[in-house]
Structure 1
Amino acid sequence: MFRQAPLLAAALLFDSTAGAQNVKPIAYPETTRGDVVETQFGEAIADPYRWLENDVRTDSKVAGWVQRQNVVTNAYLGTLPQRDWFAARIKALMDYERFGLPQKAGAHYFYTRNSGLQNQAQLFVRDGLSGTPRLLIDPNGWAKDGATALDDWVPSDKGRFLAYSVQDGGSDWRTIRVLDVASGKVMADDLHWAKFTDIAWIGDEGFLYSRFPKPAEGAEFQSRNFNQALYFHRIGTPQEQDQLVFATPDQPEVGHTAKVTNGGRYAVITSSKGTDARFEVRVIDLAQRKKKGWLAQVLVSGFDHKWQPVDAIGNRLWFVTDENAPRGKLVSVRLTASHTDWTDVVPQRDETLERASIVGNKLILSYLKDASTRAEVYDLTGRRAKVLTLNGIGTASGFTGKPGDPETFYSFTSFNQPASIRRLDLRSGASDVFATPKLTFNPAEYAIEQRFYQSKDGTRVPLFLIRRKDLVGKAVPTLLYGYGGFDVSLTPGFSATRMAWLEAGGAYAMANLRGGGEYGKAWHDAGRRANKQNVFDDFIAAGEFLIKEGVTPKGGLTIQGGSNGGLLVGAVTNQRPDLFAAANAQVGVMDMLRFDRFTAGRYWTDDYGFPGKEADWKVLRAYSPYHNIRSGADYPAVLVTTADTDDRVVPGHSFKYTAALQAAQAGPRPHLIRIETRAGHGAGKPTDKVVAEGADILAFLAQWSGLATPK
């Protein structure tokens, strides 16, 4: 079935400072080429690297290929003169005290803290806001390689217990455990096969969580996820005794999560079929549980619109929705027998409403205005009381709490500012600092601009541009980042890796492409399914704009994107290889004809369409990175990055794409893959792996864009 491809001597080392190629070729490892050909909708589709879809944990051939590729890639990266400088700077820039948003439960305040270079943040508790911090959970001792992480954590209503989820090796699977807060003792509760779940406490009795059936042996990290169900776990009992709360076995593609309103009166069940914010909503009156059991009454049916539960006071529930409001509005409903008492509380406006919360007797609404946060306080009738002053272009998050609370916490970050935590007193309106980082650089030395440019069809697209102020007006190597999908909004935030690029004298640009959520439902719809090409056009137009405006020289533009953004990088590299000097495709979706066959891939049909439907297949076939590599074309330098334990976008996507790119002999520049171990899709990655990966990527991009790091 297999035949051997010839040994490729594809890429030559390139000395960007001398502007010439030397004679040392990179010999890519041999990759076995299969003869799989399938006819789909009248076209014969070759898939010679199908075997690379197999799980590296169980297939020795795939494991051997991974090892050989890493040997070649590491040897090349080891020659880059910028690598050590970037590693040192990223490490130094990450070495500052970082706090997570505090969460109050009873008299306790819970929060995470990383002292600087710890692989994982620790969880602390204070008794009272000014109480002495007490360490509750330290995940740094959970694994020798630091790759077992504390994921979600939720205290019970009064803070007696804390449920937390553990992530191992970057996997999406979670193990949920319980801790007694007073003693710090981890209890016997041990819950498995949880994924894409919330933890919703019902008093101190127990909590609701979502889990999937146990996968078949050996299929844990590749089989598709169906039949997610909602369970109740009572504290101190084994998982086998957990009560099934809600499931839809006749609709295995539907998943369910739950939120319990403050005060514990209602459980709100949100059901979805994919990644689209199109939900059905059911409500369980927990006060009637002894009489009626887990009776879930339908509040919203049809999977037509976004319904994001906010909270409840008495028998009134608040939601953020896009029903008849594509940019979002706040509504409420009184839970009566008919559930027809729907009221618009804060109507739609020009900005996009992202989320809302009820804290004290106030509503706090977070809007996006041109991809930057605007936070406002309203009374419960929907009258605006205050606009919160934030420190310039940036992202604010948090604003959580309970009805009756006198305070809330929020963080603010921007491209040149790590997150600082502030406490807002809702009675006085005063805001004071809870935690702020001590910096090793001067934020005032960096200019943050927001520009707008025209895409191919004339659409006006926003772009953030960050540079050292002394470089404004000069053309410098530039890193352009994008995503463009799944209603995800790219907003300003701090990254030590990105700051190292800026310190070295590069510019950074982030384009808010269609397909994201920056301007509501219409912006998302304009960049998905049959409209996906708009995303690629927007990104290409951003690159052309940066060159035209003199931000970067031709030959100085590099690109980067992860997950759906990795797909973006693969697609635009195929379509415009002449535009970019180098590309980094991170954990990308590269085979658009088979993405729905693995783990969470079947959810993504909302954005990509169905490979089994001819009309959708033709769209996917036209841009699929794996299927559209241009043999013999002069490609930019490409570094693909993935992890052998990624069970979100399985690494077979990146493996197949890299094998095909290397076989195409697409120009003299290197086309390499860096495969991390026990790192998954990105969440929970330990600090030392973040530093090493960031240094490798930036050194690669710097080498091919001409960015010389300081000596």
Structure 2
Amino acid sequence: MASSVAAPAAPRALPTYPESKPSDTADVLHGTTVPDPFRHLEEVGSDETKAWVAAQVDCTQGYFESAGIAGRASEIAQKLTSVWDYDKVYPPHKEGEWYYFAKKVGTANQPVVMRAREATLEGLASAEPFLNVNEDYPSGTVALSAIAYSDDGKYVAYGLSKGGSDWFQIRVRRTSDGVDLEDIVPWARYSSISWRKDGAGFFYNRYRADPGVTLPNLRREGEPAPTLADPRADAAASAPAAAGGGGVEAGMETGANTDQMVYYHEIGTHPSSDRLVYQAEDPEWIMGVEVTDDGKYLLVCPGSGCDHVNRVFVADISGEAWAAWLAAADEAAAASPTPGAVAVGEGPQMPLRRLVDDFRGEFEYLTNEGTLFWFKTNLDAPRGRVITLTLPGADADDVAWLAAGFDAEVAVPESPTGRGEVLESACITGDSGLEGARPVLILRYLADVVSSVRIYDPSNTAAGFSEVALPAPGSASRTSARRDASEVFFAFESLVHAGSVLRLGLADAAPLLTPGASIACEAVLHTAVPGHDPNDYVSEQSFFESKDGTKVPLFLCRHKDAALPARTLLYGYGGFTISLPPYFSAARTVWMKELGGVYALANIRGGGEYGEEWHRAGSLRTKQNTFDDFCAAAEHLQRTGVTTPALTAIQGGSNGGLLTLACSLQRPELFGAVISQVPVADMLRFHRFTIGSAWCTDYGNAEKSEEDFRYMLTYSPLHNVKPVAEGGQTLPATLICTADHDDRVVPLHTYKMLATLQSVAGASPGQTRPLLGRIEVDAGHGAGKPLSKVIQEVAELYAFMEHELAA
């Protein structure tokens, strides 16, 4: 295999780290004193922290320059830019008379929302741009964070975020001419958007305005200020509520997010007139909100932390019930001190019936027929199934019904083929009204981390399942369907196949429902990456044995001409029921083809690859299994000759950043380099910041539980850094990455971890490898990051690993 650029030869000279100035700050938890000498770095906006961050940036840049990493990164960035210069279309969905879809366009910073009259190869190829944030915001740092279309296709509500923050503002666009209305709804975060059936308005989630946070002004250049009348008497003084109140820029705050609410916004009105639908009874609940297919009901689904569990509350939003609630809300607004509006969090809430009123399982709405509701659930089925529940009559005693445990009818059993497959998604579609059409279930499963798609007719259970033929073993995702549609779309990709959009026609369901039949899909679009030939790569799946004997899956991919042992990048996550199926990355082709590297993907415990049991086996007080699995993956790769410890790099982000830090501290002899991106590092205090309290369902809470505290203290990266004796086992070369607008895993985790590593291990005579930070400006946790920033980051990570992974 030829490489177009040669790796630089440069000595490993360690940098001089900035001074971090430890203090004597400490907490006492359950009778144990826990030092926290860099607590002051939690003040991310202080002058002292800003100066420290600037010094860390200079330190890393200086090392990159002196080691030749910076120059090499520039060369790699050119290669990345070349391979990333391709178009990729995601599955379309029909709204009104148009098919809308997201499209990655060449090297544009953000995807573009396109639309076409037909979802054919020719139709998609001739699609027109509908929503292009690249033109509206040339900086590339404004991203589309949510989107929802009215049922008649006349309007689209979409969320815009800046700098990677989770905060977004909702705008409304008319689809007939692509013109934005004046509606701008602020303070949305972790929000659903769901329209009323008549298109008069939409439901969404919001928080109270934070007087210490400034939302960005996202009006386009030359766009006039909204003229919608603000009913509040002090409208002029309160105008910044839409663009920010004051204080730190959104995304740079660290305070906890609590008290989420569901609101209703009526098109053409000022957001201060929006009506409160429901305020969470628990300040830490985060809620999904969805209008049912028939438009009669609103579902409010509070969740507990990050566990896949939720309650289901139901409101009648039709006819007299809707009119009565509107009248009550309007009466409260008229009587308020600012007529026409009430304070956020006040006003009559919508009457809600409780279909599920505990956190016994996950209930994902699929459709309903009157009061019969269909849900995908893990209730009594850790690998997923489909059930139906019937809402009791209006005069029924909900409390008694719930106490009786409610009756769930099984529509699709758990793992119906007996192969232990996990139900990833389900939808009901095909009810188009056309002759021969009838509603069918489209079920997407994961078996040994490989996708399958099946069709099932719930009205004819004897017919069994028909299987959709996929192009190859790989990953099917992004199912796109409506109940009243006559077609369904989904995406397919693998480690070596860049992807296709597949279409399954349902105009006549009968031929699709032959028991055991294999149904062919139409590929309406293939993704072509410049210079990429899938046949140039070897990909395979194997299973290795973890420390306790558990069999764990591992995907491996390399260029066919790669010489082994080779530099190997081992990636993992292992948390929050998130599965990592084999997916394509153009960037990885540069790692494998140009740099001669191997890519390995470990499906470790804590994820969702084998359902809730696999998740539970790597969370809370079994979290050590996650680290043991990942270390065992490295040992397997080294034992089988794929790589050596000196040539092994590990990478992970967020929970995966915790993973890589913990493994590098526990088993430093296994790794030559560590990439930890936006990591959770302080396991004793994470719950105090922004959305961190939601993670307690996966990690525990060190303040509330002594058992959690004792367990988490054993692996918390921040609390397990030790000096390295001369001649002792050095820590691997480490690069910790964060961003200044990451308001999910706030950058203070990286700041404190980096200061600790450099002050304790870095100051030791036995530490012979660099311990560095990469701190991105005007970026967040990852979603919405401009492609230009992604390319620069990946180029620097690859150049760093290439330099540090020396035989």
2:377 pairs, out of 307, 310, 321, with: 321
What is aligned with 1:484? 574
What is aligned with 2:708? 616
What is aligned with 1:67? 54
Deviates most, 261-270 or 565-574: 261-270
What is aligned with 1:236? 268
Q: Work out the CA distance in 1 between the residues paired with 2:131 and 2:445.
A: 34
What is aligned with 2:233? none
Q: Work out the CA distance in 1 between the residues paired with 2:372 and 2:94.
A: 23
State the 1:535 CA deviation.
0.5
Q: Work out the CA distance in 2 between the residues paired with 1:50 and 1:498.
A: 37
What is aligned with 2:341? none
What is aligned with 1:5? none
1:287-346 Cα deviation digits (max 9, x unpaired): 253355332210011112111111223432111111111111111123342675531011
1:630-680 Cα deviation digits (max 9, x unpaired): 211511100111101100000000011011111123411111100001110
1:262 aligns with 2:265: no
1:399-450 Cα deviation digits (max 9, x unpaired): 3322231111111111112232122112366522332222221111111111
1:692 aligns with 2:792: yes
| SS of structure 1 residue aligned to 2:750 | helix
Deviates most, 429-438 or 543-552: 429-438
Deviates most, 72-81 or 148-157: 72-81
Q: Work out the CA distance in 2 between the residues paired with 1:690 and 1:660.
A: 27
What is aligned with 1:369? 447
Residues 456 and 25 of structure 1: CA distance in aligned 2, closer, same or farther (over 3 Å): closer
Residue type at the aligned position of 1:31: S
1:210 aligns with 2:201: no
1:630 aligns with 2:742: no
Q: Work out the CA distance in 2 between the residues paired with 1:493 and 1:235.
A: 40
| SS of structure 2 residue aligned to 1:164 | strand
What is aligned with 2:411? 345
State the 1:385 CA deviation.
4.1
1:361-402 Cα deviation digits (max 9, x unpaired): 111011111112111111123553421111222211133322
State the 1:17 CA deviation.
7.9
1:93-133 Cα deviation digits (max 9, x unpaired): 11101112212112111112232100111112223443853
Percent identity of the aligned residues?
A: 38
Q: Work out the CA distance in 1 between the residues paired with 2:583 and 2:72.
A: 25
Q: Work out the CA distance in 2 between the residues paired with 1:142 and 1:299.
A: 43
User: How do residues 569-580 of structure 1 correspond to structure 2 at under 5 angstroms?
Assistant: 569-580=660-671
| SS of structure 1 residue aligned to 2:670 | coil
1:297 aligns with 2:353: yes
* Number of residue pairs the alignment of both structures matches: 687
Q: Work out the CA distance in 1 between the residues paired with 2:604 and 2:710.
A: 23
Instruction: Tell me, yes or no, if the aligned pair for 1:480 and 1:511 is still in contact at 8 Å.
Output: yes
Instruction: Tell me, yes or no, if the aligned pair for 2:200 and 2:267 is still in contact at 8 Å.
Output: yes
1:447 aligns with 2:538: yes
Instruction: Tell me, yes or no, if the aligned pair for 1:215 and 1:223 is still in contact at 8 Å.
Output: no
What is aligned with 1:4? none
State the 1:581 CA deviation.
0.2
State the 1:494 CA deviation.
1.4
| SS of structure 1 residue aligned to 2:697 | helix
What is aligned with 2:337? none
Residue type at the aligned position of 1:278: V
TM-score, reference length from structure 2: 0.82
Q: Work out the CA distance in 2 between the residues paired with 1:292 and 1:541.
A: 61
TM-score, reference length from structure 1: 0.93
1:457 aligns with 2:446: no
What is aligned with 1:10? none
What is aligned with 1:6? none
Residues 517 and 306 of structure 1: CA distance in aligned 2, closer, same or farther (over 3 Å): same
Q: Work out the CA distance in 1 between the residues paired with 2:136 and 2:681.
A: 33
State the 1:198 CA deviation.
1.2
Instruction: Tell me, yes or no, if the aligned pair for 2:91 and 2:479 is still in contact at 8 Å.
Output: no
1:548 aligns with 2:639: yes
Q: Work out the CA distance in 2 between the residues paired with 1:668 and 1:210.
A: 50
Instruction: Tell me, yes or no, if the aligned pair for 1:77 and 1:83 is still in contact at 8 Å.
Output: no
Q: Work out the CA distance in 1 between the residues paired with 2:138 and 2:96.
A: 35
1:672 pairs, out of 766, 772, 787, with: 772
Residue type at the aligned position of 2:74: D
| SS of structure 2 residue aligned to 1:599 | coil
State the 1:589 CA deviation.
0.2
- The structure with the larger Rg is 2
| SS of structure 2 residue aligned to 1:542 | helix
Residue type at the aligned position of 1:347: P
What is aligned with 1:401? 481
Residue type at the aligned position of 1:467: R
What is aligned with 1:275? 306
Deviates most, 595-604 or 437-446: 437-446
1:86 pairs, out of 63, 76, 80, with: 76
Residues 16 and 113 of structure 1: CA distance in aligned 2, closer, same or farther (over 3 Å): closer
Instruction: Tell me, yes or no, if the aligned pair for 1:359 and 1:400 is still in contact at 8 Å.
Output: no
State the 1:21 CA deviation.
4.7
1:497 pairs, out of 587, 600, 605, with: 587
1:182 aligns with 2:176: yes
| SS of structure 2 residue aligned to 1:663 | helix
Residue type at the aligned position of 2:154: R
| SS of structure 2 residue aligned to 1:353 | strand
Residue type at the aligned position of 1:279: N
State the 1:144 CA deviation.
4.5
1:137 pairs, out of 127, 131, 152, with: 131
Q: Work out the CA distance in 2 between the residues paired with 1:142 and 1:27.
A: 43
User: How do residues 149-160 of structure 1 correspond to structure 2 at under 5 angstroms?
Assistant: 149-160=143-154
Residue type at the aligned position of 2:782: G
Please provide the CA RMSD for this pair: 1.9
2:279 pairs, out of 240, 243, 247, with: 247
What is aligned with 2:472? 392
Residue type at the aligned position of 1:211: R
Residues 525 and 385 of structure 1: CA distance in aligned 2, closer, same or farther (over 3 Å): closer
State the 1:142 CA deviation.
4.1
What is aligned with 1:412? 492
Q: Work out the CA distance in 1 between the residues paired with 2:306 and 2:475.
A: 23
Instruction: Tell me, yes or no, if the aligned pair for 2:529 and 2:586 is still in contact at 8 Å.
Output: no
Residues 336 and 25 of structure 1: CA distance in aligned 2, closer, same or farther (over 3 Å): closer
1:421 pairs, out of 501, 520, 539, with: 501
Residue type at the aligned position of 1:631: P
Q: Which structure 2 residue ranges, 5 or more long, are not aligned?
A: 1-5, 213-246, 326-349, 431-438, 513-519
Instruction: Tell me, yes or no, if the aligned pair for 2:722 and 2:761 is still in contact at 8 Å.
Output: no
1:173 pairs, out of 157, 167, 174, with: 167
Deviates most, 153-162 or 77-86: 77-86
Residue type at the aligned position of 2:40: W
Q: Which structure 1 residue ranges, 5 or more long, are not aligned?
A: 1-14
Residues 341 and 627 of structure 1: CA distance in aligned 2, closer, same or farther (over 3 Å): closer
Residue type at the aligned position of 2:643: T
Q: Work out the CA distance in 1 between the residues paired with 2:7 and 2:503.
A: 49
Q: Work out the CA distance in 2 between the residues paired with 1:72 and 1:145.
A: 27
State the 1:453 CA deviation.
0.6
| SS of structure 2 residue aligned to 1:514 | coil
Q: Work out the CA distance in 2 between the residues paired with 1:643 and 1:290.
A: 44
What is aligned with 2:258? 226
Residue type at the aligned position of 2:479: F
Instruction: Tell me, yes or no, if the aligned pair for 2:675 and 2:734 is still in contact at 8 Å.
Output: yes
Residue type at the aligned position of 2:702: P
| SS of structure 2 residue aligned to 1:63 | helix
1:378 aligns with 2:409: no
Q: Work out the CA distance in 2 between the residues paired with 1:323 and 1:342.
A: 10
Deviates most, 318-327 or 591-600: 318-327
State the 1:600 CA deviation.
0.5
| SS of structure 2 residue aligned to 1:418 | coil
What is aligned with 2:689? 598
State the 1:564 CA deviation.
0.3
Residues 303 and 590 of structure 1: CA distance in aligned 2, closer, same or farther (over 3 Å): same
Instruction: Tell me, yes or no, if the aligned pair for 1:165 and 1:175 is still in contact at 8 Å.
Output: yes
State the 1:163 CA deviation.
0.5
Instruction: Tell me, yes or no, if the aligned pair for 2:498 and 2:528 is still in contact at 8 Å.
Output: no
Deviates most, 528-537 or 87-96: 87-96
Residue type at the aligned position of 1:704: E
1:646 aligns with 2:742: yes
